[in-house]
Structure 1
Amino acid sequence: MGRRPCQRYCEVEGGQVSSTATLPSVRGKLKADAPLAPLVWFKSGGNAELLFEPADRDDLVEYLKGLDPDMPVMALGLGSNMIVRDGGVPGVTVRLGKAFSKIERLDETTLKCGGGASGILVSSTARDAGIAGLEFLRGIPGTVGGFVRMNGGAYGREVQDILVSCTVVLHDGTVEEWPAEQLGYTYRHSELPEGAVVVEAVFRGMAGDPLIIGQEMDRIAQAREESQPLRSRTGGSTFKNPPGHKAWALVDAAGCRGLKIGDAQVSEKHCNFLLNLGNASSADIEELGEEVRRRVQAKTNISLEWEIQRIGVA
């Protein structure tokens, strides 16, 4: 993909070094032209111009402070709800690692969670602490940073139901704490600005019995296993549920169950999921999604909106 100027190259993995005269070093990992396909569930797509895995929050802050303001910044979690286009992703892709996965109990019903912690880890920690109300996070295949930004939800609950506040690092390196109401949550959307990275979130539930909490988590896990193609290369729920409708039912009614373009297929098990059967390009997957949208529009006069993020250069 085409290069964009970067004010902040430093020594990168693979031995190549760009001009570093004006560039402070990072303590984490910074890699140029880094493959993203292995990091996303679809296992397709191009490379990141720069992939940065900061050592900690200070490392991230210092790096962003020195970055060209015109350089795009995007946070990457588990890559579960994302199509990385085949031309790759310009700018800096920030991936939060183990340093951002810590969870701390603040009181009887409140957890402070790092932006890199998974939904499974958060819900399991809440269970062990006897905190109910966070069980639905067991059904979200992503990290705190991602589902806070997108108001992720499952099984009748959303992040806005449990979020107290989040800590974000803005594109210019400024660190801010946002109370939940500042995020302006709507369905699968927040008002967080482009380039902001969620590094921490505080969630509050209610006192509960760990045994009952665990049973509810098991129920959610079983329901996902029975209804969703979890063993496949997929991106999770593809389209948002329109008001008063289920996206999967609209896709099914439009005759799209099992529809294929190349190695991309609408799942026969849950037709709001798209699959990479092996060698699908991201262009194939996105084209299939657009064909589904076209057929649903023609059949029902309802326009499906993408829930999956589509990023990068086609």
Structure 2
Amino acid sequence: MNATQTLPDVRGKLTPDAPLAPLVWFKSGGAADWLFEPKDAEDLADFLRDLDPSVPVMALGLGSNLIVRDGGFPGVVVRLGKAFAKVEALDATTLRCGGGASGILVSSTARDAGIAGVEFLRSIPGTVGGFVRMNGGAYGGEVKDILVEADVILRSGERRTLTLADLGYTYRHSELPDGAVVVAATFRGRRGEPAAIQAEMDRISASREASQPLRSKTGGSTFKNPDGHKAWQLVDEAGCRGFTVGGAQVSEKHTNFLINTGTATSADIETLGEEVRRRVKAKSGIELQWEIQRVGVAK
């Protein structure tokens, strides 16, 4: 596909040859053939229905858990804007959240409504769509604990509501079909006192600040924790703390984070990750699995 190809009419915004590096936390990688920012769910559904079925589609949230390869993404990247970022309390324990809403907005709205149990979302730098797709989790909570249902638009343009069971959650993984975009989700927590909820959010925030390289260009947790092990510990024991490839480095502060020191290509970052996996396997016999999504084509 290329940027001269005819695409369906939209009411939102379509940008050809759109650089993705500014939109992802690593600040590296190539461009998308097209970036689509739909006006609303109907605009997105119509577009996907009429788009050539052979064109790849990928949803992009805050780009925190993502390596976009240097050759870019050969297809359409969908980014949900303000129209998809609303959060409201439906009742005393239930929240309705747009797919583009941030974890901070969800947890803050929950606090104001006296809904506990979703504080952990405060610590995940992403949007509801990404949380639902990845079964996002941290600090003892994960999306499967709070999800009631998710509204998705399939690659075919069909709109569907998926239940918790439909999503087939495992650790940092769901059965959400390729090319599907999460446009909304319903989360259920429990009654709580706003002051106690805020205190828990503050505790999580302080803990994260102390242990993670938040001021760096990073992609969050790089590898999944293997059963019975902590990924960072395996990386550290394999002698990889501070290890570099080109402009990419294993964080000195938290060894399950890779950082772009300023000049890294996506190839540097991915090569570094693969070398860390190799060293961990050699040292411990354990094969680390990527948690960060890697998309697009190499240059």
Instruction: Measure the CA separation in 2 of the matches of 1:57 and 1:140.
Output: 25
Aligned match of 2:160 in 176, 180, 183?
176
Deviation by residue 1:62-117 (Cα, 9 ceiling, x = unmatched): 11111111110100000000000000001110000000001121110000000000
Equivalent in the alignment of 1:195: 179
The gaps in structure 2 that reach 5 residues or longer are none
Amino acid at match of 2:237: A
Aligned match of 1:106 in 90, 96, 101?
90
Shift of residue 158, structure 1, vs aligned partner: 0.5
Amino acid at match of 2:166: Q
The gaps in structure 1 that reach 5 residues or longer are 10-17
Aligned match of 2:131 in 143, 147, 152?
147
Deviation by residue 1:266-286 (Cα, 9 ceiling, x = unmatched): 000000000000010000000
Amino acid at match of 1:228: Q
Instruction: Measure the CA separation in 2 of the matches of 1:186 and 1:142.
Output: 19
Q: Which residues of 2 match residues 201-220 of structure 1 at below 5 A?
A: 201-220=185-204
Instruction: Measure the CA separation in 1 of the matches of 2:54 and 2:256.
Output: 36
Equivalent in the alignment of 1:161: 145
The ranges of structure 1 where at least 4 consecutive aligned residues each deviate by more than 4 angstroms after the TM superposition are none
Equivalent in the alignment of 1:32: 16
Equivalent in the alignment of 2:297: 313
SS of residue in 2 equivalent to 1:294: helix
Equivalent in the alignment of 2:44: 60
Equivalent in the alignment of 2:286: 302
Identity of aligned residues (%): 72
**What is the aligned length?**
298
Equivalent in the alignment of 2:215: 231
Q: TM-score, normalised by structure 2?
A: 0.98
Cα RMSD, aligned residues only: 1.0
Deviation by residue 1:172-223 (Cα, 9 ceiling, x = unmatched): 1000000111100000000010000000000000000000000000000000
Deviation by residue 1:128-187 (Cα, 9 ceiling, x = unmatched): 100000000011110000010000000011100000000000001000000111100000
Instruction: Measure the CA separation in 2 of the matches of 1:226 and 1:24.
Output: 47
Instruction: Measure the CA separation in 2 of the matches of 1:115 and 1:220.
Output: 23
Shift of residue 19, structure 1, vs aligned partner: 6.6
SS of residue in 2 equivalent to 1:257: coil
Instruction: Measure the CA separation in 1 of the matches of 2:41 and 2:166.
Output: 22
Shift of residue 24, structure 1, vs aligned partner: 4.3
Equivalent in the alignment of 1:131: 115
Equivalent in the alignment of 1:15: none
Amino acid at match of 2:156: D
Q: TM-score, normalised by structure 1?
A: 0.94
Kindly tell me: are residues 19 and 35 of structure 1, through their superposed partners in 2, closer, same or farther at Cα, counting changes over 3 Å? closer
Shift of residue 25, structure 1, vs aligned partner: 2.1
Instruction: Measure the CA separation in 1 of the matches of 2:126 and 2:143.
Output: 12
Instruction: Measure the CA separation in 1 of the matches of 2:289 and 2:265.
Output: 21
Shift of residue 36, structure 1, vs aligned partner: 0.1
SS of residue in 2 equivalent to 1:113: strand
Instruction: Measure the CA separation in 2 of the matches of 1:292 and 1:19.
Output: 40
Shift of residue 27, structure 1, vs aligned partner: 1.0
